[in-house]
A and B are shown apart, each in its own frame.
Chain A
């Protein structure tokens, strides 16, 4: 035990070298920068839109439309005078949307003939906030149309609510999960679940990738610096040497992943956390009613699945590390591992594992890293069989890999196993 902690401290020190610290700081700075830029842009886009209006008609209807726009969350800056002059003025200002209500508009509208308004967008770039201006034009037109059609209906059929006339049928939406049901829309539920879990796959990917990379590096550096032979002759069990490397890699990997995630959230957290929790607050009772929540037992199962997966990654990476002669080979050897983590990551983001064809499903689930990516979903939707199957599968995988790893370290193979890129031949 004394020797183990001694080894562990050395391994952690070796891994926490300058390069790692620099790259982590770099990540934080970059993410912070991205975050600041996007947040400012989003704020601009979210703010009330300022638009210029030139009313050449000055009829009762046109006045009312401007009033309606004011109500519909626009800040109106009214212009007057000749159209050319107003255009010229706006071109030199920061305003980028002008609505012109032509002369005779009220006349046409009140006699139920097609009437036109003109909107002028002043393009000054292609930023996010600029793009949302397109939506503004649409919203503007919708508001105008809504207002006018309501007016028409009110005039033609007094005493009836125009809203009821336009949408006589109302839809009550229900969502059913297994034997439970609740009132709510499918989009709302899926939206809430995605918002709740969107960061989870990233966490998983980071943890697995970082730990694997760390352990490969730890062993490959030992080979590159020619320190492995000496280490293997000191009076410590080979098991302790391997375990110290794995544990150190897992710890440093976890910390790196945490730092990475902190930066990631900083960068891509567009909406305020308040907004999300508010939105979730409304959905939470519905989720509960549907049984789409995770209890303590669920979290424990998820934890087991994650733990086994990390062990798998560590053991696999250890074997790859032994194959590598130096640091650079180690880097290229970790590529297939990263690929194996990316597969379930992308599938969990963009596809539903349960609706995939059987061969595809088997292929994905054969990757030991896949299981925690789908564990939460399986827990919520009660696919406990699949969850347990994953846990048992990963457990067997871990046992075999760890056995193999300790065998490699206990025999000649730790020194004689080699992978030579040039000859493209594996010598085991």
Chain B
């Protein structure tokens, strides 16, 4: 089966700084693919390029057979992106925010309603959705945004550090949301600097450091290859 997303030799320069030095990976249908690496490794840059926010300096990105440079609008239709640091409109109620976003993806009112119903379920925010987003805690905002990213059942959900800045309980809940959601047959590309989290979530991971992919595989295979008990040790050995 053809991969949902294919990244080949991706490069990105910010002025003279080379943030990505040619990275390649594939995301298969229905899998959770994790990019792990320390801060500044180039995870956000990669995800932003695939989400059509940044233009690559070089390389190719193909999604469902479409080329990023030629058909960015096809990417936007079928991809949901959850930015690393994101907020909702503070003066909008949570439910209004979901409605607002749903209508861009829905073909008609009924579908929009369906999306919102689904998001209400995913978010688990209940009655609080009737309050303005400005009153939400960090965890609640993250859940709202994650729900909105997943409600359209995108062909690919791109989640940048989905649990960053959240406490243990909220992180756990968010992880459960992601894990539960992909049972519905949607691919996820996520990034994290928390290696243990990625190990728990991902079917396959890529180790990324200073703009290069060091290795790629299932957590199990990587642990065996580097004879390590967890991905943190795998990463440390891969860097050497």
Bound-state Cα–Cα, A14 to B133, Å: 13
Of B52, B54, B76, B89, which is within 8 A of A225 by CB?
B89
> Contact: A234 with B76, CB < 8 Å?
yes
Known contacts A229-B86, A233-B81; A415 and B53 CB within 8 A of each other: yes
> Contact: A227 with B76, CB < 8 Å?
no
> Contact: B90 with A230, CB < 8 Å?
no
Bound-state Cα–Cα, A14 to B100, Å: 13
> Contact: B145 with A6, CB < 8 Å?
no
Q: Taking the nearest CB of chain A, how far is it from the CB of B135, in angstroms? A: 13
A275 at the interface (CB under 8 A from B): no
> Contact: B76 with A10, CB < 8 Å?
no
Known contacts A10-B100, A230-B83, A415-B54; A225 and B88 CB within 8 A of each other: yes
Closest-by-CB residue of A relative to B89 is A227
Bound-state Cα–Cα, A6 to B73, Å: 18
> Contact: A14 with B91, CB < 8 Å?
yes
Closest-by-CB residue of B relative to A237 is B73
Measured between beta carbons, the chain A residues less than 8 angstroms from B201 are none
Measured between beta carbons, the chain B residues less than 8 angstroms from A295 are none
> Contact: A227 with B87, CB < 8 Å?
yes
Interface set, chain B 141-185, CB cutoff 8 A to A? 145
The residue among A14, A17, A227, A415 with the most chain B CB atoms within 10 A of its own CB is A227
Q: Taking the nearest CB of chain A, how far is it from the CB of B102, in angstroms? A: 10
> Contact: A3 with B104, CB < 8 Å?
yes
Of A3, A233, A411, which is within 8 A of B79 by CB?
A233
Bound-state Cα–Cα, A6 to B89, Å: 15
Bound-state Cα–Cα, A232 to B52, Å: 8
Bound-state Cα–Cα, A225 to B145, Å: 13
B105 at the interface (CB under 8 A from A): yes
Of B81, B89, B105, which is within 8 A of A229 by CB?
B81
B14 at the interface (CB under 8 A from A): yes
Chain A: interface residue total (CB-CB under 8 A) = 21
A416 at the interface (CB under 8 A from B): yes
B103 at the interface (CB under 8 A from A): yes
> Contact: A227 with B88, CB < 8 Å?
yes
Measured between beta carbons, the chain A residues less than 8 angstroms from B83 are 226, 229-230
Interface set, chain A 215-248, CB cutoff 8 A to B? 225-227, 229-230, 232-237
A412 at the interface (CB under 8 A from B): yes
Interface set, chain B 81-99, CB cutoff 8 A to A? 81-83, 85-92
Of A17, A235, A411, A415, which is within 8 A of B76 by CB?
A235
Measured between beta carbons, the chain B residues less than 8 angstroms from A226 are 83, 85-87
Measured between beta carbons, the chain B residues less than 8 angstroms from A236 are 76, 104
B51 at the interface (CB under 8 A from A): yes
1/0 contact trace for A342-369 toward B, CB 8 Å? 0000000000000000000000000000
Bound-state Cα–Cα, A225 to B86, Å: 7
Binding site for A on B (CB under 8 A): 14, 48, 51-55, 73, 76-77, 79-83, 85-92, 100-101, 103-105, 145
Can you show 17 pairs from A to B with CB atoms below 8 A apart?
A3-B103, A3-B104, A10-B100, A13-B92, A14-B91, A225-B88, A226-B86, A227-B89, A229-B48, A232-B53, A233-B53, A233-B81, A235-B73, A235-B105, A411-B55, A412-B54, A412-B55
Q: 19 more A-B contacts (CB under 8 A) besides A17-B91, A229-B83, A236-B76?
A: A6-B100, A6-B103, A6-B104, A13-B92, A226-B86, A227-B86, A227-B89, A230-B82, A230-B83, A230-B101, A232-B53, A233-B76, A233-B81, A234-B76, A234-B105, A235-B73, A235-B104, A237-B73, A415-B48
Leading 3 A-B pairs by shortest Cβ distance:
A226-B87, A235-B76, A229-B83
